[in-house]
Structures are given as structure tokens and as C-alpha cells.
């Protein structure tokens, strides 16, 4: 099983294609967007992920091939299409999943192993994918093997993380384990397709819950006049219980939608997990709350300019991924307050910053024009900011450092107020 088709060249499919090519597989990537296929065919990935560009540059035309349709003779067809949730009802959209299954049914045969890699509601592999294959073929070899990587570390994690595989039957499971055994050192066979589906949702919802508690602590310390990082450090130090997470924004393609996919799955059983629902609400409220605090701390001046550093959903590991980015829910708050927003991100393009309503600037120009600075991500470039060079002579009077990556003392030395998520010292900076 060496000739692999991948349906969907988004983040999941792109990184899997690169990882499989490095392991010697012949990979055929399929996508409906001509621009994506053209860029990838020239060895230029449309998504930033460390190592991917090097793999495509080396193996396009040799082990990696890009097509608008799936070749008919692949050994396995892996579905990596997007499964977004709609904005209104937060219900998962499975049209892409169904279309991919129908395409495979037309192009392949019962001998082809079909793998669902996309995140789906529990039961969707059996109810959406399987019927389309069986209607065309009479039988199917089908597994669910969820993607569980993190942006910035995908190529390493695809090899190092255990690969969970659930099969329709014993033959499907055997073939699935054979396929992923050529990629990763550790395999975790599970008893059903549904078990594998729930593994992915459980992973991400658990992470969302953990992060939400750190944000709860920050909301409390903000009101009590305490430092959430001091509280959390003291809580965690050499204490033999699960660590408390630092407060911060929780976004990305998975954490911003998978809780809703789990809740949709649970709702069909008559039970909606209240903890998962509450955690998602806390994490979605956090950037909106921070935007409101920044506006208040900037004061009531008629014309206010804010420099926002970090437009991707996270800064470490670095990414240009805008899915679930906190700036999306912050911008309406700034717009309503009449705040002009300047934008900078080491990886996000000027075009994307404009699309979200910001004015792209370099760091020097941004500090020179701003009344306040909001650091949204902990990108390494922001950790190295030379505030002693950027603040003197600027009009900046507030630095809101969400992840506390800057030296507060160096900021306040310039007569600038320093604050962070859950941290708003009462004393004003010395002039």
C-alpha cells in the first residue's frame, strides 16, 4: 500500500502529504481550488508550516503529484476536507465530506482503502461516507484515523504521536494499521469507527476546558487586583496535581469548532455536555472582554489609534493560520468605539490584515503612530521587541501584553502603563 490519494489540500491534507512523501509513499493530492494546485505544483505551499515547503520543493513531480481529480488506481484514499460549523446554529457542515465520498466512489473501487481523517461528528463516517461507497461498490474498506497535530509541529507529530485507527471491520482495520504503520511508530487500534471519531473530539474538548479555567482565573484576578501568573505559578510549583494553564486566547481550526461538533453529536443522544459548552463560552468571551478592557484603558479621547501585534490565532509555534483568531471578535469592539487599528504580524500578509479591517504597518511606524499597543500573540519576534528603542518619542501610553512576553519594568520606565490578561496593576507608571 504505497500509492496514496489525499482529498483536500488544506492544513490536514497538506501536512499529511508531506509526511507520507518523506516516508517514501507516492502521494496524489486532490483539491478543488486551481490556485492551490498551481502553487503546490510549483513547490510553494499556500499554508505556512515548518518543513512543508522543503518537502514539496524536493518531491513535487517525484513522489508528490497534484490533481483536480483522484487517480483511479490509488491503494488508499484519505479524506482531509474541511468540516466547518455554521455561524448561526454552530452545526457542522458535512457537505464537503459527502462530496469527497462520492468522488472516491466514482473514481476508485472496493479494493481501495478509504480513510476519514477529517474531524466529524460521532457516527458521520458510518452515516455519511459508508452509504455512498456501498451504493457504488456493494462493500467498502473503511477506517477513521483522526488528525491530532498542532500547527508548527505537524511533521514531527505525524511521526511521533500515536495514530488512532478505527475500522469498519477486521479487514479494514488491518489495512488501516498497515498504512499508518508506515508513518508512525505507535498505533492505537480501537474497536469502532465511532470510537476513533470521539477520540479526536475528546482530545480537543479536554484542551478547551483546561484553557478555559486559566481564563476564569484571569477574570477573577483582574477584579481582585492580583497577578494571575503569580497565582498560577504558585499553584503549580511542585504540586502533584494537574497544572493550571496560563490565561490566553483559544482558537485555531480545531478548538474553535470541535466543541460544537461534540455538542452536536451529544445533542442527538439527548445530552449536551454543560462543561464543554461553558468552557467554549469562556474562551470565546475572552478576546471580546480584552478588547473592551483595552478600549476602556485607552481613555475617552476622540481619536484613538491602536497597534495590534499578532493577527494569526497564535504566535507559538509560529503560524499564519487565521482560523479562530481572536482579532476577528475584537475588531467589532474596536470599530464600535471608533478606534483606528494598525496591524502587524510576522507571517500574516498585509492583504489578510486589511481583510480583517486593520491597516498593515511595520513595527517602527506602528509604534510611532499608536496611542496604545495590544500584543495578541507570543510570537518570538514580539518576545524580542526592543521597547527601549520603540517607546521613546512615541505617543504610546498603554501596552496591553496578553501573554506577558515583554518586560513590564522596561515598559513602565518610559511612562507607559503595562497591563495583561487578568493583570491590571492599580498604580500608574512612573514618569
Q: Is 142 left (phi over 0), alpha (psi -120 to 50) or beta?
A: beta
pLDDT value at residue 89: 86
Going by C-beta distance under 8 Å and a sequence separation of 6 or more, which residues neighbour residue 139? 110
Residues 34 and 172 in one domain: yes
pLDDT value at residue 429: 42
* 266 located within any domain: no
pLDDT value at residue 386: 97
Q: Which three cell numbers stand for residue 130?
A: 459508508
Q: Where among 137, 163, 191 does a domain terminate?
A: 191
What's the domain range around 364?
Answer: 282-419
Residues 151 and 299 in one domain: no
Using 70 as the pLDDT threshold, list the residues of the chain that sit under it: 1, 427-431
* 251 located within any domain: no
pLDDT value at residue 34: 96
**3-state class of 366 per DSSP?**
helix
Give the pLDDT confidence of 4-36 residue by residue, as tens digits.
999 999 999 999 999 999 999 999 999 999 999
Residues 30 and 145 in one domain: yes
* 390 located within any domain: yes
pLDDT value at residue 117: 98
Cα dihedral value 85, 87, 91, 95, nearest 10? -50
Q: Which three cell numbers stand for residue 144?
A: 477513521
Q: How many domains does the chain contain in total?
A: 2
325 vs 128, 201, 203, 268, 286, CA distance in Å?
30, 20, 20, 29, 12
* 162 located within any domain: yes
Residues 299 and 174 in one domain: no
Q: Where among 191, 220, 241 does a domain terminate?
A: 191
pLDDT value at residue 88: 84
Q: Where among 162, 191, 220 does a domain terminate?
A: 191
Residues 311 and 177 in one domain: no
Q: Note the pTM of the prediction, 2 decimals.
A: 0.93
Residues 35 and 182 in one domain: yes
298 vs 42, 136, 339, CA distance in Å?
47, 62, 10
pLDDT value at residue 427: 58
Q: What is the CATH number of the domain that holds 356?
A: 3.40.50.720
Amino acid at each position: 500500500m504505497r500509492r496514496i490519494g489525499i482529498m483536500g489540500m488544506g492544513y490536514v491534507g497538506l501536512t499529511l502529504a508531506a509526511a507520507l512523501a518523506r516516508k517514501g509513499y507516492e502521494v496524489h493530492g486532490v483539491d478543488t481550488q486551481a490556485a492551490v494546485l498551481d502553487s503546490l505544483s510549483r513547490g510553494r505551499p499556500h499554508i505556512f508550516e515548518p518543513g512543508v515547503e522543503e518537502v514539496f520543493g524536493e518531491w513535487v513531480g517525484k513522489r508528490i503529484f497534484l490533481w483536480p481529480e483522484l487517480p483511479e488506481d490509488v491503494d488508499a484514499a484519505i479524506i482531509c476536507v474541511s468540516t466547518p460549523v455554521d455561524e448561526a446554529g454552530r452545526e457542522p457542515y458535512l457537505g464537503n465530506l459527502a462530496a469527497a465520498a462520492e468522488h472516491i466512489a466514482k473514481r476508485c473501487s472496493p479494493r481501495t482503502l478509504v480513510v476519514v481523517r477529517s474531524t466529524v461528528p460521532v457516527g458521520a463516517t458510518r452515516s455519511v461516507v459508508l452509504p455512498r461507497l456501498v451504493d457504488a461498490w456493494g462493500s467498502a474498506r473503511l477506517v477513521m484515523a483522526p488528525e491530532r497535530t498542532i500547527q508548527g509541529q505537524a511533521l514531527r507529530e505525524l511521526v511521533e504521536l500515536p495514530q488512532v485507527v478505527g475500522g469498519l471491520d477486521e479487514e479494514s482495520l488491518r489495512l488501516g494499521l498497515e498504512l499508518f504503520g508506515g508513518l508512525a511508530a505507535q498505533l492505537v487500534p480501537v474497536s469502532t469507527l465511532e470510537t476513533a471519531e470521539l477520540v479526536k473530539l475528546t482530545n480537543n474538548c479536554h484542551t478547551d476546558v483546561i484553557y478555559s479555567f486559566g481564563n476564569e482565573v484571569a477574570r477573577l484576578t483582574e477584579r481582585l487586583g492580583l497577578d494571575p501568573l503569580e497565582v498560577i505559578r504558585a499553584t503549580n510549583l511542585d504540586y502533584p496535581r494537574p497544572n493550571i494553564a496560563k490565561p490566553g486566547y483559544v482558537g485555531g481550526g480545531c478548538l474553535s469548532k470541535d466543541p460544537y461538533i461534540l455538542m452536536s453529536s451529544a445533542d442527538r443522544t439527548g445530552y449536551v455536555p454543560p462543561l464543554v459548552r461553558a468552557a467554549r463560552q469562556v474562551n470565546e468571551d475572552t478576546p471580546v472582554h480584552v478588547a473592551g478592557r483595552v478600549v476602556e484603558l485607552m481613555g475617552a479621547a476622540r481619536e484613538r489609534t491602536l497597534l495590534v501585534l499578532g493577527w494569526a490565532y497564535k504566535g507559538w509555534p509560529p503560524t499564519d493560520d487565521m482560523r479562530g483568531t481572536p482579532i476577528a471578535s475584537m475588531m467589532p469592539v474596536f470599530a464600535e468605539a471608533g478606534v483606528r487599528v494598525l496591524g502587524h504580524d510576522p507571517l500574516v500578509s498585509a492583504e489578510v490584515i486589511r481583510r480583517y479591517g486593520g491597516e498593515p504597518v511595520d513595527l517602527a511606524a506602528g509604534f510611532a503612530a499608536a496611542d496604545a499597543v495590544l500584543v495578541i500573540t507570543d510570537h518570538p519576534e514580539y518576545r524580542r521587541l526592543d521597547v527601549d528603542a520603540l517607546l521613546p518619542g512615541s505617543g504610546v501610553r498603554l501596552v496591553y501584553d496578553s501573554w506577558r512576553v515583554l518586560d513590564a519594568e522596561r515598559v513602565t520606565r518610559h511612562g507607559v502603563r503595562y497591563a495583561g490578561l487578568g493583570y491590571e496593576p492599580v498604580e500608574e507608571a512612573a514618569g
